[in-house]
Amino acid sequence: MVKYVFVTGGVVSGLGKGITGASLGRLLKARGYKVVMQKFDPYINVDPGTLNPIQHGEVFVTDDGTETDLDLGHYERFINENLNSNSNVTTGKIYWSVINKERRGDYGGRTVQVIPHITNEIKDRFYHAQSDDENTVAIIEIGGTVGDIESQPFLEAIRQFQSEVGRENAIIVHVTLIPYLKASQELKTKPTQMSVKELQGMGLWPNVLVCRSDFPLEDEMRAKIAQFCNVKKDHVLENLDAKSLYEVPLMLEEEDFAKVVCEDLEIPCPQPDLEKWRAIVECSKHPKTSVDIALVGKYIALHDAYLSVVEALRHAGIFHRCEVNIHWIDSDTLTKENVNETLSGMKGILVPGGFGVRGTEGMIIAAKYARENKIPYLGLCLGMQIAIIEFARNVCGLYDAHSSELNPSTSHPVITILPEKDGLENIGGTLRLGSYPCVLKEDTKAKDLYKKSEISERHRHRYEVNNEYRQILQQKGMIISGTSPDKYIVEMVELQEHPFFVATQAHPEFKSRPDEPHPLFVGFVEAVLK
């Protein structure tokens, strides 16, 4: 039967519950278990699609077109499995479903309450195996911090669920903080004790404590935590900061994380196969060279807004045994006057996705600089649209060329909205989302990189290349290297007389893995190295 591991967090947010859960997933998968992962977020938004990326970070998109929390990107990268719409559940989704059921009369006129209706809906969303004999562990992260009012229904649902399936089939891993007081030069366990006490007051007893700390935990301190928190001493694990996220599974393996989890779940714990993962970490820790790449974006105030892009660059760097130094360039500050000073010394330029007009003129300047100075350029989603706008203006002579999203009055809308999307007012869920097929043109860099003619990539955008301008773009030297199977939608473009100028309407960063780096990023970093 399916075994469940619930990952909760205490003391403060941002302790790395997602990385802890993803690391456990990697360690269990290395032992032959099937691993599935879910994230339950307490916020009332139906999904993170309309959240400000500077506040919330990147919106990660799954193959089936679900806009999700960025932690799902960590999950996919660590366990190398594609997740789906059931992998990210919010309070908004839960209440939306319950209210719709009430309106349809599904509850037969009964009063709808948090218990049992909301908690039942939450339990219904927990992973369910296709059959009882699946060798599966479901790892379910609960967002927020224990004590938050928003998290209470989720924690109550776990309490009920444990009673229903048995505590040996559903355990709790609690990620907490052991702060260091500089004045007294000591680690303090009281915040962890209080966090566990808060959980126990809700009827939940954590099986494993993963303690974030700046310094190693002495045996005496582990014993103290175990005694006060009612857990076994060898189930109190330390989780120190790591230079690379990909070191965390190996560090937790040294702490016997998988062993204690398997012990509590009453399942075997064979020796893991972590050789490939160790090789990845070895390459990331000992690069042979380094390169400087400018990431020109509008959301750089929060680097997590481009998390998957950063990780995809790191994956390509690991592949080439190269350290990728990312230089964060605020496109809102980039001008014709300072572009030479700002981008000189950069060996590659990447323009990522985004929405809205702010900062786009700086991106256009960056694309022009890359094109004219033969600097490798990779454009992602908006980055492809920017490359086409720049090319249309400065090569095709369409001087006010723009996107109708960014300048509705432009006389040359080289980027425009699809006819079937025109007139939509509700911005939530109206994008072209998820995995779409693309056919690559022969004798192009894209075809050489992918090494196949038909591919699929994940999308998150509303505007497309205006087909009325295809002819002039191609006449002036832009190659349309990828289209939809019916050739109606432009998916990829490149420039022939350039060492590497490739742009895609998709978000290839979502599919990159440390052990399977994405070919576009591998090719980009290779061009930068050359």
C-alpha to C-alpha distance for 206 and 277, rounded to whole angstroms: 29
Cβ atoms 295, 57 nearer than 8 A = no
> Per the residue annotation, which of 390, 402, 509, 518 is the catalytic one?
509
State the residue for tokens 């002819």.
Answer: 471
Catalytic annotation present for 322: no
- Check 322, 381, 396, 438 and give the catalytic one: 381
Query: Active site includes 311?
Result: no
Looking at the DSSP assignment, which residues form a beta bridge with residue 440? 482
HEC string of 259-302 equals HHHHHHHCCCCCCCCCHHHHHHHHHHHCCCEEEEEEEEECCCCC
- CA atoms of 419 and 400, how far apart (whole Å): 22
Q: Active site residue: 315, 402, 507, 518, which one? A: 507
How far apart (Å, rounded) are the C-alpha atoms in residues 413 and 389? 9
Tell me the three state secondary structure of residue 383. helix
Quote the Cα angle for 459-387-322, to 5°.
75
State yes or no: is 381 an active-site residue. Answer: yes
Residue 246 · residue 280 · CB < 8 Å: yes
User: Which among 267, 329, 204 is positioned nearest to 28, based on CA atoms?
Assistant: 267
Cis check for the bond before 116: say yes or no (omega within 30 of 0). Answer: yes
Residues in the chain, total: 530
Report yes or no: 461 and 503 within 8 Å, Cβ to Cβ.
no
Residues with a known catalytic role: 381, 507, 509
